Amino acid sequence: MQKRRLGQSTLEVSVIGLGGNNFGGRIDFDAAERVVHRAIELGINLIDTADSYGNRGGSEEALGRILGQKRKQIVLATKFGMPMDDSGKLGGASRAYVMQAAEASLKRLKTEWIDLYQLHQPDPRTLIEETLRALDDLVRQGKVRFIGCSNLPARQLDEAHAVARRQRLAAFVSAQDEYSLLVRDVERELIPALKAHGMGLLPYFPLASGLLTGKYRRAAALPAGSRLAKNAGLASRFINERNWRVAEELTALADRRGHSMLGLAFGWLLREPTVASVIAGATSPEQIEQNVRAASWLSADDLAEIDRITLER
């Protein structure tokens, strides 16, 4: 498994990572354990989760039980900031909440440190300096090694780095944002900002919630139990005429080139130097094996054809 450096940090992460959003929710503990152990066997060392995954805490708790002595082999990433209760009191990025959330994640994960602690979403009620000062304290205390962010627009990234530089605080080393063959918005402003600040990109939804796996067909019912079948919001967002056209043309290209759709989707993301690792969820060891095999490289002709298909309006 090839590894890449995550931004300007000292973290070396596998080019295929494991997303923990299925743990504690979509799959039970035994299934999660099989997935994690197989991922480690195949050389995946980046596991990404969040305190909100698995019905608020379930994913972190599962990983804490599963990893055990293998914890030291893993670059363990988690996030904070999403609502953790129905009242709205637990969430956001205030200093008080950051410190509370970090302690809760450490306890659930059964670890003394978090390798990458990420702000899950912007908090309009809290100045970024307050958040960064709290995160800097966690770094100084040895509870967090590096910090990252998710879903921040480029202008807020610029502001965060300016504050960190001015106040000599720990700065974000990575951003986790949606990026796929169907959603390329980050190329306009975010990726240039990441390059300017020496940050790495961790794409989420690399398969557009499954639309790029080839298991969905335009004229067929959504497969029972699939993510889009179970989540009407995601289905309404991703399933449209433009995306069907793009997915069908990409499938035809993959077939002509002898690639799988997974190989096409992951290989295309990894052609971008800013991308450190493609985070992909899995519900079975077999799916992990497919993800690992998919980290293939594409030719210049392939990339030109992909641009024609995905950028055509």
Query: In the chain, what are the domains?
Result: 3-211+269-297 (3.20.20.100)
Q: What does the pLDDT read at residue 60?
A: 97
In a structure prediction context, what are the per-residue pLDDT tens digits for the chain, which is 313 residues long? 899 999 999 999 999 999 999 998 889 999 999 999 999 999 999 999 999 999 899 999 999 999 999 999 999 999 999 999 988 889 999 999 999 999 999 999 999 999 999 999 999 999 999 999 999 999 999 999 999 999 999 999 999 999 999 999 999 999 999 999 999 999 999 999 999 999 999 999 999 888 898 777 787 777 766 676 667 777 777 888 888 999 999 999 999 988 889 989 999 999 999 999 999 999 999 999 999 988 677 888 999 999 999 997 5
**List 53, 97, 179, 204, catalytic entry:** 53
Count of CB atoms situated within 10 Å of the CB of 224: 7
Q: What does the pLDDT read at residue 226?
A: 67
Residue type, 182: L
Count of CB atoms situated within 10 Å of the CB of 162: 14
Q: What does the pLDDT read at residue 225?
A: 66
Count of CB atoms situated within 10 Å of the CB of 237: 16
Q: How far apart are CA 207 and CA 212, in angstroms?
A: 5
Greatest extent of the chain over all pairs of C-alpha atoms, in Å: 56
Q: What does the pLDDT read at residue 143?
A: 98
Active site residue 53: yes
Sequence-ordered list of residues with C-beta below 8 angstroms from that of 5, at least 6 positions apart, any chain: 11, 12, 13, 200, 276
What DSSP string describes 21-47?
TTBTTTB-HHHHHHHHHHHHHTT--EE
Helices (H), 141-258: 154-167, 190-197, 227-230, 232-238, 241-257
